[in-house]
Amino acid sequence: MGKNLKGKELGKGIGQRKDGLYYARCTNKSGQRLEKCFQDLKEARNWQKEQQYRQVHPEIKSAPPKMTVNEWFDFWQTNLLTGLAPNTVRNYRERYEKNAKAILGELLLTEVKPMHCKAVFNGMTGTYAGSTIRQAYIALGSMFKAAKENGLIEKHPMDGVRFDSPIKAVDEIHFLTVSEQKAFLEIAKHSHNYAQYALILETGLRTGEVIGLTWDAIDWENHTLTVNKTMEFRHKQHEWRAGPPKTKKSYRTIPLTDTAYQILRDLYLGREYRKEAPELDKVLIYIDRRTAKQAMLHMRDLVFINYRTGMPAKNSSYDTHLYKLCDRAGIEHFCMHALRHTYATRAIESGMQPKVLQKLLGHASIKTTMDRYVHVTDDSMFQAVRQFQNAQTA
């Protein structure tokens, strides 16, 4: 076990030299010892993990020493992006191809400067939402970080390039007011998707988590629901795909409200009478993010099946149906994700601590929860001050 200068153990093959640099060591299949020094401990550990991964996956080739950003992006996506949700990988590619490729693509990796990166984000400002710009910021940052860790560039070209806007601005968050929520549910209760809508309003699940929910994820005795997979319809490939939750933090077990429990219980008791298409015999294979092993989703075990087709409802069809319900309820159009925002808003308004809400929503960072939802407490400031005052004089 290597140690740092203060004597703290850093793990096998990781240590710190007297000059402050961290070293990482490992052995290849030929018995040759590999070693490299880094300014940062995290970089040393990442390098060691990558070398160990290459020993298990020898099919991964080394990147050529001189390559364009386009070439590096393709190499990075093909060989180095492991353990990420398919949606994340797809979003990285979309942001690169739509926003960065025209500016950075033909440059050599070694030619990219902060001004080039800044030009990408400047070109998005005013046209894209803050969350989309941040997505591009993360994608480029991760791509160039991997290039630096692999010795293709000496300095990260985004050093000094900052993106300080919130992940989602307040006016980008669409949630229902209490009166809108009541009006919506009154109309929705007569629709065949009422259970899905009501469940999200009681649990804050993402759409893909609802679509991929199976009976074995529900603990009837303890009144909990476990999120450990998602499912979506890929229109280009015309097929259903299962996958892991969005991040490792998205794996979670949620205590069910009485309403949520009853919704699921009623569906379970009536499952023998629902229409099921022959295609539900299919088993979807995906990689569990926590174990890096294969996992299976049996489509026959899905909780939510469309009453008419006997198949799961597609992501986009939910939004189309919601628009019709909004027209009937006389409220502004909203999408499925707005129901999750509404759940979070009601939770904060009821006094739930943001840290608890973070766990229930499966956010990877408390900053995400705070940026998106803590603003709704502004309307309750006077009430909170009065409560504080009453507590002092009681």
The answer, yes or no, to whether residue 375 has pLDDT greater than 90, is no
7 Ramachandran zone, left/alpha/beta (phi>0; psi -120 to 50): left
Could you tell me where in the chain the CATH 1.10.150.130 domains are found? Answer: 69-165
At 317 the three-state DSSP class reads helix
**pLDDT tier, 303 (very low <50, low <70, confident <90, very high otherwise):** very high
Distance between CA atoms of residues 171 and 166, nearest Å: 11
Asked whether the predicted pLDDT for residue 376 surpasses 70, the reply is no
For residue 150, name the pLDDT band (cuts at 50, 70, 90): confident
Tokens of 260: 């949520």
- pLDDT of 51 reads 74
pLDDT at 198: 97
- Give the predicted TM-score (pTM) of the model: 0.66
Q: What one-letter code names the amino acid at 166? A: P
Q: Mean per-residue pLDDT for 297-311?
A: 95
User: What is the structure's pLDDT at 2?
Assistant: 81
Average pLDDT of the residues in 181-199: 96
Q: What is the mean pLDDT of residues 249-259?
A: 95
State percent of the chain over pLDDT 90.
Answer: 53
Average pLDDT over every residue of 27-51:
80
Q: Highest mean pLDDT range out of 126-130, 157-161, 212-216, 387-391?
A: 212-216
Whether the Cβ atoms of residue 148 and residue 156 lie closer than 8 Å to each other: yes
Q: What is the mean pLDDT of residues 92-121?
A: 93
pLDDT band (50, 70, 90) for residue 164: low
pLDDT of residue 234: 85
pLDDT of 329 over the 80 cut: yes
Give residue 56's pLDDT.
60
Q: Is the pLDDT of residue 58 over 90?
A: no
> What's the CATH number for 2-56?
3.30.160
> Is the confidence at residue 283, as pLDDT, over 70?
yes
In this predicted structure, which of 107-121, 174-188, 373-387 has the lowest mean pLDDT?
Answer: 373-387
The pLDDT of residue 167 is: 47
For the chain, residues classed under CATH 3.30.160 are 2-56
Task: Report the alpha-carbon distance of residue 312 to residue 195 in Å, rounded.
Answer: 14
Could you say which architecture CATH assigns to the domain 69-165?
Orthogonal Bundle (1.10)
Percent residues over pLDDT 70 in the chain: 90
CA dist., res. 112 & res. 104, Å (int): 7
Q: What is the pLDDT of residue 127?
A: 87
The answer on pLDDT for 267 being more than 90 is yes
Contacts of residues 379-384 at CB distance under 8 Å and 24 or more positions apart, as own/partner, are 380/349
What average pLDDT score do residues 44-61 get?
68
Which residue is associated with the tokens 């990075």? 76
What pLDDT score was predicted for residue 26? 85
Per-residue pLDDT, 62: 54
Task: Please give the pLDDT value at position 330.
Answer: 95
Identify whether the C-beta of residue 161 lies closer than 8 Å to the C-beta of residue 121.
yes
Task: For residue 66, give the 3-state DSSP assignment.
Answer: coil
Does the pLDDT at position 193 exceed 70?
A: yes
Helix (H, G, I), strand (E, B) or coil at 242: strand
Average pLDDT value for residue range 142-171: 77
User: Residues 295-315: what's their mean pLDDT?
Assistant: 94
Q: Give the DSSP letter of residue 280.
A: G
pLDDT at 343: 95
Do residues 180 and 188 lie in contact, with contact meaning Cβ atoms separated by under 8 Å? Answer: no
Q: Tell me what pLDDT residue 44 has.
A: 83
Confidence bin at 65 (pLDDT 50/70/90) = low
Q: Which CATH architecture has domain 172-379?
A: Orthogonal Bundle (1.10)
Q: What's the pLDDT tens digit per position in 335-361?
A: 999 999 999 999 988 889 999 999 999
- Give the torsion through C-alpha atoms of 149, 153, 157, 158, to 10 deg: 0
| pLDDT exceeds cutoff 90 at 214 | yes
Q: Whole-number mean pLDDT of the chain? A: 87
Residue 226: pLDDT band with limits 50, 70, 90 = very high
Name which of 19-33, 254-268, 295-309 the model is least confident about: 19-33
Q: Where in the chain is the domain with CATH 1.10.443.10?
A: 172-379
